[in-house]
Amino acid sequence: MRAQLERDFERFGRELPRDFAAHVRERYRVDLSARYLGFPLPHPIGKGSGQLSLHESQLETDHEAGLAFVVLKTLIAQDATGAQTMRAWATHETKMEIERRRTGDRDGWTVTWKGRGWDRSFEEYLTLVRVGRDLTGSGEMVVVPSVKYHLPVLDEPFHDAEYRFTTGALAREWGASPLPLEKDFSPTLAGDARSDERAAILRWLAEVPARIRAGAAVRLGVKLMNARFDDDFQRAMVEGTKGADALIVFNRLFDAEKGVAYGGWELSDRNLGVLGSLAPGVSPGSLTGTGNVCSGRMIVAYALRGCESVQLHTAFQLPLSAYPSSDGSRTQRVLHQMIFDPKDGLVAVLLELEAAGRLARRDGELKFLDLVDVDH
Ligand SMILES: Cc1cc2nc3c(=O)[nH]c(=O)nc-3n(C[C@H](O)[C@H](O)[C@H](O)COP(=O)(O)O)c2cc1C
C-alpha cells in the first residue's frame, strides 16, 4: 500500500481525479466519509469563509476539484431599510499578504489582511447564494452562507430587525429546505471593544442562535472566535453556546499590537489544546475544525478531538512552489497534498494509526469518522 501511495502521489500531482475519495475507498479500503453541519461528505476537507469564496468562478473551480464544501464570505447583516449596525465590518480592502510565520522550530504560514466582511451589495450576495443553493442541490458540493449580525454591548438590546430581515431573505433565496448558515464571530470582533466584557460574549452565544432561528428555519453553525481571554473562557464559550447544530472551532488569533488576525502553529496549538481539554458531550452540536490545517496529519489531530470535518483557508493561498504537485488549481493542489502525501497525508496517517493498533477496520475498511467516534 505504501508503494501504491507513492505512485498515486506522483501521478495525481499532475492531475487529480475529481472522485479521488472513491479511488481511495476502492484502492486502500479507506472510507474518507465525513460530515459538516449534518451534511454527509465524501471527505472532510472544505474551505473556510473568506476572500476565496467571493465569486461564482471560485465556486466552480472548487467544485471541479472535488472540494467537499465551501463557506461563502461573511455577509454583514442589514434590516429592511438597509441599515447595518455592524457596518464597520463591511470594509473594502484588497491587499493580502501571505507570510511565513515561525513558531519554535516549526514553519507555518499566515495571511495578513486588514479587511473584514462582504463589501458588495446585498443583492450580489443573494446571487452568489443562488449559485451555492444549486450546487448543494446537485449533491456534489455543499455551499453555506455566513453572516455577522448585530452584537450588542451588555446593557443594549439586540437589533432584531437585522436578524429577521437578513435570515429571511437568505432563506427565501435558498428555497424549501432549511437554510444552512454559519454565524461568524471573527478575530477582529475579538479585538474590538465590544468583546471587552466576558459576560457580553457569553450573552451573545446564549441568545444569538434563537434570534437567527426566529427569522427562518436554519441549520446553524456557530464559528467561535479565539477570545482574548484564557483557555477556561474558551471552554466556557463552547459550553455556553445554546441552540447551535454545529460549532466551527476556532477562528484566528488576534494580534492587538498590530491590529491584525493571524494563524499558523500558534493557532492550531491553541485550538487543539482547548478541544482536547473539553469534557465529553459539552459541545451543543457537532464540531468542525479550523486553524492551520496544513496536512492530513493535522486533519487527524482535529478529528481525534471531535471534529467531523475541517475548514481551510490559508493553505489555498500559498505560493505555487509550496505545493508538491506540478499542475492543477490551488484547490486541487491542496487536496492532492492533504490526501496523498506519503508521509503526512490523510491516507498515510490512517494506515499508520491502523499499524499502531489505534484504528481498526470495520467491514474491511478504515473509516475516517471512527476517529471522531472513538473518543467522543
Ligand atoms: C484573509 C482572510 C479572510 C477571512 N475572512 C473570514 C470571514 O469573512 N468570515 C469567517 O468566518 N472567517 C474568515 N476567515 C477565517 C478562515 O475562514 C479560517 O477559519 C481561518 O483563517 C483559519 O484557517 P486557516 O489557518 O486554514 O487559514 C478569514 C481568513 C483569512 C486569512
Per-residue pLDDT at 172 exceeds 90: yes
Question: In which band, very low, low, confident or very high, does the pLDDT at 357 lie, cut at 50, 70 and 90?
Answer: very high
Amino acid 20: pLDDT:
98
Of the chain, the percentage scoring pLDDT greater than 90 comes to 89
Q: Is 291 in the pocket of ligand 1 (CB under 6 A)?
A: yes
Task: Quick: pLDDT tens for 8-20.
Answer: 999 999 999 999 9
Q: What is the mean pLDDT of residues 345-360?
A: 97
Question: In which band, very low, low, confident or very high, does the pLDDT at 23 lie, cut at 50, 70 and 90?
Answer: very high
Amino acid 115: pLDDT:
82
What is the C-alpha separation between 175 and 163, in angstroms, rounded? 18
Per-residue pLDDT at 376 exceeds 60: no
Q: Is 226 in the pocket of ligand 1 (CB under 6 A)?
A: no
Q: Is 189 in the pocket of ligand 1 (CB under 6 A)?
A: no
**Nearest-CA neighbor of 340 among 41, 35, 24, 63?**
24
Per-residue pLDDT at 375 exceeds 60: no
Q: Is 146 in the pocket of ligand 1 (CB under 6 A)?
A: yes
Grid cell, residue 231, equals 483557555
Atom 7 of ligand 1, residue of closest alpha carbon? 50
The Å distance, Cα 308 to ligand 1 centre, comes to 19
**Nearest-CA neighbor of 306 among 226, 369, 240?**
369
Full-model pTM = 0.97
Q: Which of 80-94, 270-284, 325-339 has the lowest mean pLDDT?
A: 80-94
CA 343 from chain centre, in angstroms, equals 24
The length of the chain is: 376
Q: Is 114 buried (19+), middle (13-18) or exposed (0-12) by CB count in 10 A? A: middle
Per-residue pLDDT at 118 exceeds 90: yes
Q: Is 350 helix (H, G, I), strand (E, B) or coil?
A: helix
Per-residue pLDDT at 304 exceeds 60: yes
The Å distance, Cα 221 to ligand 1 centre, comes to 15
Q: Is 136 in the pocket of ligand 1 (CB under 6 A)?
A: no
The Å distance, Cα 363 to ligand 1 centre, comes to 38
The Å distance, Cα 144 to ligand 1 centre, comes to 14
Question: In which band, very low, low, confident or very high, does the pLDDT at 374 lie, cut at 50, 70 and 90?
Answer: low
Task: Quick: pLDDT tens for 194-242.
Answer: 888 999 999 999 999 999 999 999 999 999 999 999 999 999 999 999 9
Q: Is 112 in the pocket of ligand 1 (CB under 6 A)?
A: no
